[in-house]
Amino acid sequence: MSALPLVEARGLEKRFALATPWLDRILAHRPRRFVHAVAGVDLSIARGRTLALVGESGCGKSTVGRLLVGLLAPSAGLIRFDGRDFDARAGRRALAPLRRRMQMIFQDPYASLNPRWRVRDIIAEPLDAFALTRSRRERMERVAELLLQVGLTPADAEKYPHQFSGGQRQRISIARALASRPDFLVCDEPTSALDVSVQAQILNLMMDLQEKFRLTYLFISHNLAVVRLIADEVAVMYAGRILECAPSSLLFARPLHPYTRLLLDTVPDIDRRHRSRSPLAGEVPSPIDPPPGCAFHPRCPWAFARCRSERPELRAAEGAYVACHGLEEGRIPV
């Protein structure tokens, strides 16, 4: 992990209160219940690098992304951006200089674009919000420049989102994200809704833009083949916590945590076609009532008594950071 990260989170938590009627709770003598979406996440991303956040659906990946850009306020923990504390509960004016430097690309490019707006207005929304242009002409020139950067044409500015394909709509979303000249982009499964050939085009575009503008990415995905292509580091998330974080090449060559190993066994690989694979049995535990100890222990083939009672912390191991009692005690072969 970088000594001077652009983005850093420590002890990040997010709890959502269940919408149970107050009178029902009082009559049933039940306490208020919460969904523990993020349960103590530590991560850091160096400037110009890509950290991929992977895991099964419902593990809290998207919630982490929304916390880091201020779309959600954390229940606990600290977020720092370029050395400054970032608290989504602070006033809009106080956070404006930092908000301009971070943007988000969403999973569904059609749902994230206003169907009633022309493309020029969609892309120019950050320009207007942060007062980044001084005249209508400058605004249109900037929109045309952004369209060219993502592989579209200035004439596309007059069209509506429904007139584009899925890949083109995602290019519009990327152009909008680049409008404020951000340093940090949260990419929430930006290719999962696209065809495979279009996915490759969007990934190549994102890597080219990262090199050109020295962008920093949090890339959220469940597609490990895509992650292997784009990520510098990978953080494996399960039930609201990070279980393993390692450089991408190391994690794919030698995964350490039992969950990471089982997750990688689900990835098709022609070089490993004769190797026996262990199916990933069971379900992600309920975030309303998470199990004690290590959240993965109900599905772990190496779990023992300590795993069921004591929550493991991330520790340095073999060039990675891993939260696993079995690895710490040498019971799991490396």
pTM of the model: 0.90
Provide the pLDDT for residue 272.
56
Neighbours of 291 (CB within 10 A): 15
Provide the pLDDT for residue 95.
82
Q: Tell me the C-alpha distance between 167 and 215, whole Å.
A: 21
Provide the pLDDT for residue 164.
95
Q: Which residues, given as ranges, of the chain have pLDDT below 50?
A: 1-2
Provide the pLDDT for residue 91.
72
Q: Tell me the C-alpha distance between 235 and 328, whole Å.
A: 18
The closest of 258, 263, 251 to 320, measured between CA atoms, is: 251
pLDDT digits (tens, 9 = 90+) for 276-308: 556 566 677 888 888 899 999 998 988 899 999
pLDDT digits (tens, 9 = 90+) for 97-139: 898 999 999 988 888 899 999 999 999 999 999 999 999 999 9
Provide the pLDDT for residue 280.
62
Separation in Å, CA 234 to CA 140, 181, 193, 218 = 38, 25, 22, 10
Provide the pLDDT for residue 1.
42
CATH of domain 7-101+182-328: 3.40.50.300
Helix (H, G, I), strand (E, B) or coil at 205: helix
